[in-house]
């Protein structure tokens, strides 16, 4: 009797299960969209997608260049200031991946293996092709050469700037280095010798984009621009953009409704 019941169950319900599993497998997945974008110093744009792929258009064809490492996931920060040596920083792994202009990996730097760094929290490309690293172990801003050897470093910033906060980003503009504290809505400005110069208070914003020397903050109300070579941020410019804005002085980059990076000249 039990054998007959098993036979009946298999004949009646197994085909239904196979159909259900087949439909589940064939269900289309949501295509990735743009999670963030970046613009280099010649106006070329790069996009970070929601599937953690980093992509840019191939100027010679319809395809795109892309980089993805499943062992690292999404980068903590991206620095495209040098198109021939793009930096992807993965804070959890203490790793910098250097890409060329086709997004092919050129080198990989394990910051945890360096004697000069203990807990890297933020990284940027230095103007002389080295790196600036904020080390949250000793609260120092450190300049490293391409081999990871320390060249310059600040004093303990807990004492010098009276802040025990960890910056969200490091930006570099020629002979200036900026530490951006998003929660505090301000930027600490340093020389390229790691010497503190001043604090700059910033208006509120939800998204930030940096393209030297401009830091742009944007929200539903509009956007503002901070020129690192001046004293403060400019006034809010009304206008609605889809998230992040990157300014270059003459105009601004933003995402259109289809997730493409568009450039609009200032009026």
Q: Record the pTM.
A: 0.86
Enumerate the domain spans of the chain: 203-267
* Count of alpha carbons within 13 angstroms of residue 242, beta-carbon side: 13
User: Is the pLDDT reported for residue 215 higher than 90?
Assistant: yes
Query: In 3D, which of 214, 198, 195, 216 has the Cα closest to residue 206?
Result: 216
pLDDT at 100: 96
> Is the model's pLDDT at 18 over the cut of 70?
no
The pLDDT value given to residue 267:
74
Q: How confident is the model at residue 249 (pLDDT cuts 50, 70, 90)?
A: confident
**What does the DSSP 8-state code read for residue 234?**
P
Contact status, residue 34 vs residue 53, Cβ threshold 8 Å = no
Q: How far is CA 7 from the centre of its chain?
A: 58
Mean pLDDT score of the chain:
88
10 vs 198, residue with greater confidence = 198
C-alpha–C-alpha distance, residues 210 and 1, integer Å: 74
Greater model confidence, 231 or 224: 224
- Evaluate if residue 219 carries a pLDDT over 60: yes
84-106: pLDDT as tens digits: 999 999 999 999 999 999 999 99
User: Is pLDDT at 22 greater than 90 in this prediction?
Assistant: no
Mean pLDDT in residue range 26-38 = 82
The answer to whether 168 and 174 have CB atoms below 8 angstroms apart is no
Q: Is 113 left (phi over 0), alpha (psi -120 to 50) or beta?
A: alpha
pLDDT at 14: 45
**Mean pLDDT in residue range 218-233:** 90
| CB 164, CB 152: distance < 8 Å | no
Name the token pair of 58: 């191939």
Number of Cβ within a 10 Å radius of residue 156: 11
Confidence class of residue 4 from pLDDT cuts 50, 70 and 90? very low
**In DSSP terms, which residues pair with 98 in a beta bridge?**
87, 107
Torsion of CA 215, 220, 222, 226, to 10 degrees: -20
Residue 42: pLDDT above 70?
yes
The answer on pLDDT for 266 being more than 80 is: yes
Burial 54-93 (b: 16+ CB within 10 A, else e): bbbbeeeeeeebebebeebebbbbbbbbbeebbbbbbbeb
Instruction: Say yes or no to pLDDT of 239 above 80.
Output: no
- The answer, yes or no, to whether residue 178 has pLDDT greater than 80, is yes
């Amino acid at each position: 009797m039990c054998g007959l019941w098993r036979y009946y169950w298999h004949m009646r319900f197994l085909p239904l299960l196979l159909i259900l599993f087949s439909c589940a497998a064939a269900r289309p997945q949501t295509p990735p969209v743009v999670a963030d974008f970046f613009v280099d110093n010649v106006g070329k744009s790069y996009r970070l997608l929601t599937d953690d792929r980093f992509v840019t258009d191939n100027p010679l064809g319809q395809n795109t260049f892309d980089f993805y490492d499943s062992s690292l996931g999404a980068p903590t920060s991206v620095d495209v200031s040098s198109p021939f040596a793009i930096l992807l920083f993965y804070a959890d792994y203490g790793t910098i991946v250097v890409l060329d202009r086709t997004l092919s990996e050129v080198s990989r730097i394990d910051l945890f293996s360096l004697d000069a760094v203990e807990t890297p929290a933020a990284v940027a490309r230095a103007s002389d092709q080295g790196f600036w690293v904020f080390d949250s172990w000793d609260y120092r801003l450190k300049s490293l050469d391409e081999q990871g050897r320390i060249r310059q470093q600040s004093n303990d910033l807990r004492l010098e700037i009276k802040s025990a906060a960890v910056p969200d980003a490091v930006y570099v503009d020629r002979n200036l280095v900026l530490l951006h504290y998003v929660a505090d809505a301000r930027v600490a400005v340093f020389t390229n010798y790691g010497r503190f110069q001043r604090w700059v208070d910033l208006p509120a914003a939800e998204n930030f984009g940096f393209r030297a020397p401009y830091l742009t903050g944007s929200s539903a109300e509009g956007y503002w621009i901070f020129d690192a070579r001046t004293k403060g941020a400019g006034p809010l410019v009304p206008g609605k953009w889809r998230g992040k804005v990157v300014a270059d002085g003459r105009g601004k980059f933003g995402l259109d409704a289809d997730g493409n990076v568009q450039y609009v000249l200032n009026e």
